[in-house]
A and B are shown apart, each in its own frame.
Chain A
Amino acid sequence: MFDGLQRVWETFFNLDLIGQTLPALLRVGLLNTLLLAVLASVIGVGVVVVIAAGLMSSKVAVRLPCRAYVDVLRGLPHILTVYLVGQGLPLAGITLFGESTYGYAALAIGLLEGAYMAEIFRAGFQSVERGQIEASRSLGLSHLETLRFVVFPTGARRVLPPLTGQFILVIKGTALVYLLGLTADQREMFAIAQDTAIVNASLSPLVAAGLLFLAITVPMTYAVNAWERRLRDGRKDAPTDTATDMDRALAHQGTG
């Protein structure tokens, strides 16, 4: 029993190895992880604008392909998508980024995250109450004006917190690009940890990377949750729904 624990400790928590791995993780990996996450998110947002609009289209010919995109990319194991984009595209002669696997890595994660973000957008915008839209149309605003001035402001506020939450998943998602084989300078945290782990026949470097992922994702998760709570509850000085003096004064005017 004690031997077992000792072996687990040696395998995962070899402090020497963790200490050796951390500098490279911080110097090269952290920056690449964040850069990949941002690039993938930018690509994802580009995807979202098209796909989310398509998901809400009333035309089946537009909606179905977008639906298929979202369902397939969310349904497939992410590893397969990363391979299909990162190795499939260059094999097919679509060399968007030349020899650089970095670009394909960002594209693969971006396309994946775009599918998840599109669903967030669709849900958020379709949650805007029909009554708001009817009120706007009844005032004479056109369909487009209603989208721009009524649906968008409400939808965007509902979409932002879960979208930020999705960004946390993108950060974790970048770990998958080690599959594509990056040059030494391009490696994100997980790739560096993976390489070090293989060389030393120990999983401790991966734990080191895990700790850094936690250091980024946990505070962000709490920040997003706090933000969501604030948006949901509104400002703290909101009065409760009771009659005001003015209501009572008006009530007395009415024939009662």
Chain B
Amino acid sequence: MTTQTTSQAPTTRGTPVTFDHVNKSFGRTQVLHDICLEVPGGQTTCIVGPSGSGKSTLLRCTNRLEEPDEGRVLLGDTDVTDGSADIDAVRARIGMVFQTFNLFPYRTALDNITLALRRVRKLPAEEAAERARAHLASVGLAGLEHRRPAQLSGGQQQRVAIARALAMEPEVMLFDEATSALDPELVKGVLSIMRDLAGQGMTMIVVTHEMRFAQEAAGQVVFLDHGRLIERAAPDKFFGAPESPRLQAFLSAVT
């Protein structure tokens, strides 16, 4: 693993992420209790747990869409939570895909992707468009470059969102329940792209309810409940021989 300090697009894959005693409260409700978690580079870490367990909040601490109250988050050697860190530069190294797609509604699929390529990566217009086209093609959307989000199905929108994140050539990808808002028949298309990405050695943190995906694609699976990290294991052990009674109860409820 190498650490990039230049403003050049980092192409390093396999950057690990470390959560170091992360605490977070919303008002008087503590949503994350002293979370310590190593996310190995080049692997997929799936975070599962009941609604309100703090999964999304933990994920969002990675690029500081949520600010941890205490503790550190490291991206490789960079302390993301350091107040003097250039958060925009850090975020440009981390791709994120949201449950609700969050495409820019008045931009075409192509322009959704080129915006950050031009403004953040400072690519010339032609090069940005070329890269955007290639990424759209790689998620199966060649020919739909000039559609607006409203003219795309949910599954297509989420694939544009994935292409938008990947075009930035991030070191880490975050998926926040990326398939939860999709019609059942659109879920598999998105999951298969995520599975391919995991196979290519991208560091991924995936908050999901898709247990099958976790079982097949994850290097490790993490169980959160009431803001506490209860169990962490390789998928075989996680699903085959869960230790804590709470995880056992959760798994028997969802599978």
B140 is contacted by which of A134, A249, A254, A255 (Cβ under 8 Å)? A249
B188–A139 CB distance below 8 A: no
Q: List 8 A-B contacts (CB under 8 A).
A: A131-B101, A131-B102, A138-B96, A150-B104, A154-B104, A241-B154, A246-B140, A248-B189
A247–B151 CB distance below 8 A: no
A138 is contacted by which of B94, B106, B188 (Cβ under 8 Å)? B94
Q: On chain A, which size bracket covers the interface?
A: 35 or more
Assembly CA distance A134 to B104 (angstroms): 11
Q: On chain B, which size bracket covers the interface?
A: 35 or more
B155–A140 CB distance below 8 A: no
Q: Within 8 Å of chain B (Cβ to Cβ): is A31?
A: no
- Closest B residue to A157 using CB positions: B106
A129-B102, A131-B100 are known contacts. Are A139 and B120 too (CB-CB below 8 A)? Answer: yes
Secondary structure at the A interface, as helix, strand, loop or mixed, is: helix
A142–B189 CB distance below 8 A: no
Assembly CA distance A124 to B117 (angstroms): 28
Instruction: Kindly supply a per-residue 1/0 record for chain A positions 58-95, scoring 1 wherever the CB is within 8 Å of any chain B CB and 0 otherwise.
Output: 00000000000000000000000000000000000000
Q: A residues engaging B (CB < 8 A)? A: 129, 131-132, 134-142, 145, 149-150, 153-154, 157, 234-235, 237-239, 241-244, 246-251, 253-256
B153–A250 CB distance below 8 A: no
A134-B98, A238-B151, A255-B216 are known contacts. Are A250 and B140 too (CB-CB below 8 A)? Answer: yes
A138-B63, A141-B120, A253-B192 are known contacts. Are A153 and B106 too (CB-CB below 8 A)? Answer: yes
B192–A251 CB distance below 8 A: yes
B189 is contacted by which of A141, A154, A242, A251 (Cβ under 8 Å)? A251
B65 is contacted by which of A129, A132, A137, A141 (Cβ under 8 Å)? A137
Q: How far is the CB of B239 from chain A (nearest CB, A)?
A: 16
- Closest A residue to B151 using CB positions: A238
Q: Within 8 Å of chain A (Cβ to Cβ): is B36?
A: no
Q: How far is the CB of A158 from chain B (nearest CB, A)?
A: 10
B153 is contacted by which of A141, A243, A251 (Cβ under 8 Å)? A243
